[in-house]
Amino acid sequence: MLLKLLFFGLVTYASAAVKLQEVFSWNVLDWNYPDEYLKQESILTGAFIPENALPVGIERWKNKLFVTVPRWRPGIPATLNYIPLDAPHEQSPKLNAYPSYKGNELGNCETGLTTVYRIKADKCDRLWVLDVGTYGYDPNVTNLCPYALNVYDLNTDTRIRRYVFRPEDILPSTFIANIALDEGATCDDTFAYFSDELGYGLIAYSWQENRSWRFSHSYFMPDPLVGDFNIAGLNFQWGAEGIFGITASPVGSDGFRTLYFSPLSSHTEFSVSTRILRDERKVKEGSFNDFKVVGVRGPNGHTTSKVMDDSGVELFNLIDQNSIGCWSSSLPHKPQNIGVVDKDDVGLVFPSDVKIDEDKNVWVISDRMPVFLEAELDYSDINFRIYTAPLYNLIQGTVCEPSSQFIQTSSPMPMSNTRTVGQTPLYGLSLKAPSTPVQTSYFSSFPLNAQKIKSYNPASFSVTPKLAFLDMPRQTSYSDITSNKAGVSFFNKTPWWSKINY
């Protein structure tokens, strides 16, 4: 990946998350150890290097919030972890290895886990975890273990299955970071799908048959025209990155779900019926025309993580926009039907994963990943955040809200990069009345947000945080910010955000 440096010039406004509530945040991650002596020893021997840990995936199941940390650098105690949600609230809780430290042993292919990205819990209280087996990061990657699916029984915290992908499923270029589940009528009738970003494939796994197969399709490939990224003041190219975010729809009238997918270097959404994916014969039979183009999100529409709930509303991260987007699958997929449920130019820099739990709460983790990978994180600043909000609160006032849909089915409005206060859809103008935050959620969230605003820019916000909070959101889109470039180097010790002149 080629890194070019640029600088945010004068920026008049920033936005802060309004609906998403920050529940946890960290400058640097930390772990609970059985005792302090072991921890100190791990730090001394380099078995634990806190600054090397970047959280990338989350999942909530009952009283556990799972957090994954890839072993891109040395010193990561465990790649699969959880935070107990029934413990007294701490703003920066230490992570706990799941199911144990031993079960996270680096390079122990049989009973350990080496590197895990995104994970998924199912209705049968199982946690689906793909161990990609790699240690290090491009170009210093070693494949310590084969790609292996590990499934845990969450009620007993035991691993109930390990399945090693067939050699035919994996190419030399394979990189798999995402998983989607396709749950049938029984626990046995469950399929998992895995997107191969750099090998341009989609792997299907049948729980019942304990077997996998691999689809190829040109829709898994990147769009070469949109491989340039501007995130957190960094300009870089992820032009080879193919199929990435995947999620399954509710069960359709034909009894099958639809798998939605997007390449990372792309602004387009595609789909395929799980009727095709569940059938290994379709690999050879020729299923090219069963893969569909769903529509485009619009400019600055790169995404790496998506999830659809039972009502057919899809949420996804918009990594160029520091925001979470939504689309209601009952509407045509086009820019004016894409909404933004929340945006934060500091807190949501690289919202790496988005999940919806059984209680219809949305969970988001942000981690400033491009800064970690392409530059260096500032550990005197908050780098990682976990947010939550009820799904309905998030989509309220957006084009994805169920009751607003009839308004949106006709008269597409012209595209515009300019938004005024309160307008929700990102890429086009909305026919819907401007949304205002609900009073109750405003007051309950205010202390949290006011504190957050103060913490990153005291000069601008300490006097009238309330006003700032009301006026700031959604006044400027990220494309407005990035279009204003000047030539100052990123690499000095001043934190990256302080260069943004509010």
Ligand X SMILES: *[C@@H]1O[C@H](CO)[C@@H](O)[C@H](O)[C@H]1NC(C)=O
Closest separation between CB of residue 161 and ligand X, Å? Answer: 6
Beta bridge partners of 356: 362
Nearer to ligand X, 406 or 491 (CB): 491
3-state helix, strand, coil in the chain (%, to 5): 20, 35, 50
Q: Decide whether 140 or 439 has the Cβ nearer to ligand X.
A: 140
**Encoding tokens for residue 200?**
């341009």
Judged by beta carbon, residue 140 or residue 410, the one nearer ligand X is 140
Contacts of 218 (CB under 8 A, 6+ apart): none
User: What's the closest the beta carbon of residue 146 comes to ligand X, in angstroms?
Assistant: 9
Check: CB of residue 260 under 8 Å from CB of residue 308: yes
- CB within 8 A of 357, min separation 6: which ones? 60, 61, 363
Angle at 208 between CA 202 and CA 212, to 5 degrees: 25
- Find the shortest distance in angstroms from Cβ 220 to ligand X: 24
Rounded to the nearest whole angstrom, what is the least distance from the CB of residue 163 to ligand X in the complex?
Answer: 4
- Contact between 440 and 446 under an 8 Å Cβ cutoff? The reply is no
Write the CB contacts of 77 (distance below 8 Å, at least 6 apart in sequence): 31, 33, 42, 47, 48, 97, 101, 104
> What are residue 273's DSSP bridge partners?
258
In whole angstroms, the minimum distance from the beta carbon of 126 to ligand X comes to: 13
Nearer residue to ligand X within complex by CB, 22 or 374: 374
Q: Are strands 3-5 and 313-318 parallel, antiparallel or unpaired?
A: unpaired
136 vs 184, beta carbon nearer ligand X: 136
Cross-strand partners of 307: 315
- Provide the minimum distance between the beta carbon of 452 and ligand X in the complex, in angstroms, as a whole number: 33
215 vs 39: CA distance, rounded Å: 45
Q: Which is nearer to ligand X, 36 or 110 (CB)?
A: 110
Q: Which residues contact 382 (CB under 8 A, 6 or more apart)?
A: 25, 26, 27, 347, 455, 456
Between 208 and 462, whose beta carbon lies closer to ligand X?
208
Instruction: Answer for the pair 368, 232: CB distance below 8 angstroms, yes or no.
Output: yes
Choice between 11 and 187, CB closer to ligand X: 187
Nearer to ligand X, 159 or 161 (CB): 161
Residues near ligand X (CB under 6 A) are 140, 161, 163-164, 210
CB of 140: closest distance to ligand X in angstroms? 4
* CB of residue 135 to ligand X, shortest distance in Å: 12
Question: In sequence order, what DSSP letters do the residues of 391-441 get, joined into one string?
Answer: HHHHHTTSTTSGGGHHHHTS-PPPB-S---TT---SSB--SSPPP---HHH
- In contact, 305 and 354? CB cutoff 8 Å: yes
User: In 242-322, where do the E strands start and end?
Assistant: 243-248, 258-263, 268-273, 291-296, 306-308, 313-318
Taking the least distance from each CB to ligand X, the nearer of 210 and 455 is 210
Nearest approach, Cβ of residue 293 and ligand X (Å)? 35
Shortest CB 172 distance to ligand X, Å: 19
